[in-house]
Amino acid sequence: MRLKSYVYGQWIEGEKNFRTIKNAATGESIYEISSDGVDFRKVLEYARDKGTNSLSRLTFHQRAKILKETAKYLSSFKADLYPLSYSTGATKFDSWLDIDGGIQTFFSYSGKGKREFPDEIFYVDGDYEPLSKSGSFIGQHIFVPLTGTAVHINAFNFPCWGMMEKLAPTFLGGMSAVVKPASSTAFLTEAVVKLIINSDLLPEGALQLICGSTGDLFEYLTGQDVVTFTGSAETGRKLKAHHKIIENAVRFNMEADSLNCSVLGPDAVKGTPEFQYFIREVVNEMTVKAGQKCTAIRRTLVPASSVEDVSTALKDSLEKVKIGFPSEEGIRMGPLVDEDQVTDVFQKVELLHSVTESVYGGSLEGTANKGAYFAPVLLYTPDPFASDLPHSVEAFGPVNTLMPYTSEEELIKIARKGGGSLVASIFTSDADFARNVTLGIAPYHGRIMIIDAASAKESTGHGSPLPNLTHGGPGRAGGGEEMGGKRGVFKYMQRTALQGSPYTLSHICSEWVQGADKLKPGKHPFLKYFEELEIGETLITHGRTVTEADIVNFAGISGDYFYAHMNEPAAKRSIFEKRVAHGYFVLSAAAGLFVHPAEGPVLANYGLDNLRFTKPVYPGDTITAKLTCRRKTAKEPKENEPAQGVVSWHVEVQNQDTELVAIYDILTLVRSRGNN
């Protein structure tokens, strides 16, 4: 059987130079792979001209919907994917992380897209920036889709999740993707891509797959493309220094070696729940995916006084780990991905062993099973400063080095010796220890998990990158950053600073900005349907004189008898001239000024943001309100709900001297015309 590449709308088989892929668990040859004959220039052009061109014209909400539909579609075919996953050496649990975890990333990004992005093709980034005295020239940042494509070069360990965690933010950002999985497990990736293509949910050209090498693809990269790489540091560095990457300033996101550590706090002695959770986590991280995880624990840092207890507990626990055929019930650890990997891990263990003592385990090479099995190895170094090897050699398998520390300061130094890692974990119930160590090692880590008895039960674990948290690490870990919700999406977009008049920027961004008011003396805005409202349309209300009676009555109704409103001498002793009106009264009276009482399209005021009371309102002051339509977002129609949209209004309340006394934004639900 031969794997196919999906390029320029076709499934094509390689022409020559095939590599044979074996079943990790049985050693049988199962597939051949080659991308020979693929026209890589055409792949990139097709991705840009078809895929990105279509995706970038959709709004974030439309893209979010595609992610959700795709995830649903894949969910219904999960059962077909598990057997393929077993052939990669993954156990049932490993496969769940890979397959269900991958699908979950699409669901998660779909939700983020719907909730945290606008129904637009671009994203308004941050507040407008005043750039001039009278406000006729202002600035606003936006993110727009790039016009290139994303080339994702993925590792062998998570053939499904590894692809999907990158595709989700790529697609949501409006960019197409070309996926190149590692050959040894590409058959699972191919199966997932087949399903996605068959679902017909993505626009043409949005997703292409290269089974085999990337050939001369890099020669055709431009500054509008993005490349991500997950895998060995050696390959990653070569690609990152590729002359086209450098020449065209192609964005390159790399995630490579990482000597992640886990820390046991001095308080978490044997017998404490934290000790128990720590032991469980270290063993998990050694055995899940047979330790072939970029986030696995490689360095186990424990107080010198606990070394004995920890090594005993780890040994006991490791002994109980059942290793075997991945699909079998009760098997906790499967084989490595292939024989090359066994050789590589074996060599790295030998290297590490030259400077460490052996605590547990060794190779299973040559067992009755033909697969790429390798039993867990726990090493120990009494002096973590004696050699750099335990901090720099990543044996990509079930391998871990135990090290003692004697003080908080020393612990931080040891953790930092990793030279930049994806993740660290700290097991402690001492919040001060947690704080000091976290802040001490944070510059060297992309993620830090702190576990105590309160959080352990719901913890997602040291090794699990999550869609809403950033995944990546500085230095040795490659300097990359993926996911993290919105943050990951922006890696596939261009940030552009716009400058101009408020009217122009408001027109470009489909959003009112300070200074872009349009006075509309006609129909009251509360009597207009969603479609009728215009961005920037402004109502200036009649005035209302605030009186002492208002303060007294408002206190009576609200029950708010705060001294600044009710106690004249105390108000004067404080920061006021005299008793001041309640801020909430000003807010309520402003609503009284701008709300239209008649039954109309406005359904409700459901939110308020960025309120600042900028000046006290005293009895005798006269306030007026200005209401401006800031932003409109149509809501997806729901059954049993009138068709409607969210309208955000900007409100400014002034006193008789045109001084601003309150400024804020409110959110209303407004009915669409012709619906009920």
Which positions from 226 through 285 interact with a copy of itself, judged by CB under 8 A? 237, 240-241, 243, 246-251, 254
Element (H, E) at 181: none
Task: Tell me the per-residue interface mask from 279 to 318 with a copy of itself, x by CB under 8 A, - otherwise.
Answer: ----------------------------------------
Among 575, 639, 657, 674, binds a copy of itself (CB under 8 A): 575
Say which of 160, 211, 261, 294 is annotated catalytic. 294
Among 9, 83, 382, 592, binds a copy of itself (CB under 8 A): 592
Give the 3-state DSSP-derived string for 532-580, with helices as H, strands as E and coil as C.
Answer: HCCCCEEEEEEEEECCHHHHHHHHHHHCCCCHHHHCHHHHHHCCCCCCC
CB 669, CB 643: distance < 8 Å: no
Please identify, among the stretches 119-127, 161-169, 267-275, 647-655, the one whose residues bind a copy of itself according to the rule CB under 8 A. Answer: 119-127
Asked if 638 is part of the footprint of a copy of itself (rule: CB under 8 A), the reply reads no
Backbone angles phi, psi at 363, to 5 degrees: -75, 150
Asked if 172 is part of the footprint of a copy of itself (rule: CB under 8 A), the reply reads no
Please identify, among the stretches 77-85, 212-220, 283-291, 560-568, the one whose residues bind a copy of itself according to the rule CB under 8 A. Answer: 560-568
Please identify, among the stretches 154-162, 290-298, 306-314, 466-474, the one whose residues bind a copy of itself according to the rule CB under 8 A. Answer: 466-474
CA distance 98 to 79: 13
To a copy of itself, the closest distance from the beta carbon of 322 in angstroms equals 28
Task: Report the b/e string of 397-423 with b at 16+ CB within 10 A.
Answer: bbbbbbbbbeeeeebbebbbbbbbbbb
- Based on the residue annotation, tell me whether 255 is a catalytic residue of this protein: yes
Subset of 471-490 contacting a copy of itself (CB under 8 A) = 471, 474-481, 484-485, 487
Among 18, 96, 503, 618, binds a copy of itself (CB under 8 A): 503
To a copy of itself, the closest distance from the beta carbon of 34 in angstroms equals 29
Backbone angles phi, psi at 151, to 5 degrees: -100, 115
Please identify, among the stretches 35-43, 139-147, 201-209, 318-326, the one whose residues bind a copy of itself according to the rule CB under 8 A. Answer: 139-147
Asked if 519 is part of the footprint of a copy of itself (rule: CB under 8 A), the reply reads no
Please identify, among the stretches 155-163, 326-334, 378-386, 582-590, the one whose residues bind a copy of itself according to the rule CB under 8 A. Answer: 582-590
DSSP letters for 49-90: IIIIHHHTTS-HHHHHHHHHHHHHHHHTTHHHHHHHHHHTT-
Backbone angles phi, psi at 181, to 5 degrees: -75, 160
To a copy of itself, the closest distance from the beta carbon of 383 in angstroms equals 23
Which lies closer to a copy of itself via its Cβ, residue 354 or residue 610? 610
Among 26, 232, 387, 558, binds a copy of itself (CB under 8 A): 558
To a copy of itself, the closest distance from the beta carbon of 572 in angstroms equals 11
CB 456, CB 462: distance < 8 Å: no
Asked if 589 is part of the footprint of a copy of itself (rule: CB under 8 A), the reply reads yes
Please identify, among the stretches 85-93, 153-161, 177-185, 502-510, the one whose residues bind a copy of itself according to the rule CB under 8 A. Answer: 502-510
Asked if 622 is part of the footprint of a copy of itself (rule: CB under 8 A), the reply reads no
Subset of 142-171 contacting a copy of itself (CB under 8 A) = 142, 144-147
CB 25, CB 342: distance < 8 Å: no
Asked if 619 is part of the footprint of a copy of itself (rule: CB under 8 A), the reply reads no
Asked if 583 is part of the footprint of a copy of itself (rule: CB under 8 A), the reply reads yes
Among 200, 329, 599, 657, binds a copy of itself (CB under 8 A): 599
To a copy of itself, the closest distance from the beta carbon of 524 in angstroms equals 12
Give the 3-state DSSP-derived string for 216-283, with helices as H, strands as E and coil as C.
Answer: CHHHHCCCCCEEEEECCHHHHHHHHCCHHHHHCCCEEEEECCCCCEEEECCCCCCCCHHHHHHHHHHH
Element (H, E) at 47: none
Q: Please enumerate in sequence order all residues whose Cβ is within 8 A of that of 234, keeping only pairs 6 or more positions apart, or say none.
A: none
To a copy of itself, the closest distance from the beta carbon of 509 in angstroms equals 9
Asked if 141 is part of the footprint of a copy of itself (rule: CB under 8 A), the reply reads yes
Which residue in 130, 124, 198, 184 sits closest to 154, CA to CA? Answer: 184
Provide the 10 A C-beta neighbour count for residue 451. Answer: 25
Which residue in 258, 281, 278 sits closest to 270, CA to CA? Answer: 278
To a copy of itself, the closest distance from the beta carbon of 212 in angstroms equals 25
Give the binding-site size for a copy of itself (rule: CB under 8 A).
Answer: 136
CA distance 322 to 331: 5
CA 421 to chain centre: 18
3-state secondary structure of 599: coil
Asked if 458 is part of the footprint of a copy of itself (rule: CB under 8 A), the reply reads yes
CA distance 611 to 591: 14
To a copy of itself, the closest distance from the beta carbon of 547 in angstroms equals 11
Provide the 10 A C-beta neighbour count for residue 645. Answer: 19
To a copy of itself, the closest distance from the beta carbon of 238 in angstroms equals 9
Asked if 62 is part of the footprint of a copy of itself (rule: CB under 8 A), the reply reads no
CA distance 592 to 299: 64
DSSP letters for 10-46: EEEE--S--EEEE-TTT--EEEEE--TT--HHHHHHH
CA distance 15 to 38: 9
Asked if 611 is part of the footprint of a copy of itself (rule: CB under 8 A), the reply reads yes
The CA-based angle 185-186-187, given to 5 degrees, is 90
Please identify, among the stretches 298-306, 375-383, 396-404, 608-616, the one whose residues bind a copy of itself according to the rule CB under 8 A. Answer: 608-616
Say which of 165, 190, 255, 482 is annotated catalytic. 255
Subset of 416-445 contacting a copy of itself (CB under 8 A) = 416, 419-420, 431-432, 434-435, 438-439, 442-445
Asked if 353 is part of the footprint of a copy of itself (rule: CB under 8 A), the reply reads no
Among 320, 598, 638, 657, binds a copy of itself (CB under 8 A): 598
Subset of 641-670 contacting a copy of itself (CB under 8 A) = 641-642, 664, 669
Asked if 48 is part of the footprint of a copy of itself (rule: CB under 8 A), the reply reads no
CA distance 51 to 55: 6
Provide the 10 A C-beta neighbour count for residue 638. Answer: 9
To a copy of itself, the closest distance from the beta carbon of 181 in angstroms equals 23
To a copy of itself, the closest distance from the beta carbon of 414 in angstroms equals 15
Q: Which residues are catalytic?
A: 255, 294
